[in-house]
Amino acid sequence: GINYIDACTGGEVMAYSKALKGRRDKMYLGYSWYEHESRFEKWRSFEKLKEGFQEGLKKAGLEYVDLWRITLHEQSSRHSDAEIEAAAKALEWAKKAGLARFTGVSSHDRPHIKKMIETYPQLEVICTPYTAKTKVVTDESGLWAAMQKLDVGWFGIKPFASNSVFKGDSSPQSPTFEDDNRIARLAIRYILCNPAITAPIPGLITTQQVDNVALAVKERRELDAQEKAELDRAMERAWANLPRHYQWLKDWEYV
């Protein structure tokens, strides 16, 4: 089934923590209150990251989180070495204080991610884009090999390529509703076939969408030839229909 939820804004942290009241132990919670993290200059020092994290936990009524993943610039190499050092120090403090069971960052910058995980053991988990068109390059110099070697957890956002993989709008009234549900399940199954991926993180906005993804987890993992061809066609369509502001997803076709 589904045992992890990922909050990346203050609003999401508040909503998810409220939903988990009384059953906190039933779900792994990933936390990023990005408005109080390294994307913003004011929050890049160790002291400000620590302050923001403590304030966020207090507001949300959380004693701890399972994962604190600091949101860096998408191109995290834009940060100075000192800013990355401060983030790593904050993550180390949170884990030692018992406030975060695991720690990491989010970034879209593959070469820099590789450098960071090889430098900072505090980066136990990375959150990156990973779509149903992403293919793994298994050479020893690549990101995939480094993630495997260092046993770093890997969460993949945008598995549906910003919903461009679907023909319709995903509403129950859509004439392609069932077809789109099937494509969603194929995409999730495909991504889960990569042993390096801890989990894909699809954006789900209805209980039906949650049920559909949970069904994908129960289905056979490996795609047969017909299913693979169907997903390939859907992803070609997704690439052709990607909005201008999501063209960067094409940079994640090979990892």
What pLDDT is attached to residue 195? 82
What pLDDT is attached to residue 138? 78
What pLDDT is attached to residue 135? 87
Q: Is the dihedral of CA 63, 69, 73, 79 positive or negative?
A: positive
What pLDDT is attached to residue 172? 83
- What is the residue type of 201? I
Please list, in sequence order, all residues whose beta carbon lies within 8 angstroms of the beta carbon of residue 40, skipping any fewer than 6 positions away: none
What pLDDT is attached to residue 100? 99
For tokens 């949170």, the residue is: 94
Query: In the chain, which stretches have pLDDT less than 70?
Result: none
What pLDDT is attached to residue 107? 98
- What is the residue type of 170? S
What pLDDT is attached to residue 99? 99
Query: Cα–Cα distance between 166 and 127 in angstroms, integer?
Result: 23
Sketch out the chain's domains with CATH numbers: 1-129 (3.20.20.100)
On the CB side of 246, CA atoms within 13 Å amount to 18
The β-bridge relationship of strands 65-71 and 100-106 is parallel
What pLDDT is attached to residue 142? 85
What pLDDT is attached to residue 196? 81
What pLDDT is attached to residue 137? 80
Helix, strand, coil percentages in the chain from 3-state DSSP, rounded to 5: 50, 15, 35
What pLDDT is attached to residue 136? 83
E-strand ranges in the chain read 4-7, 28-31, 65-71, 100-106, 125-129, 153-157, 199-201
User: Which candidate, 138, 26, 116, places its Cα nearest to that of 69?
Assistant: 116
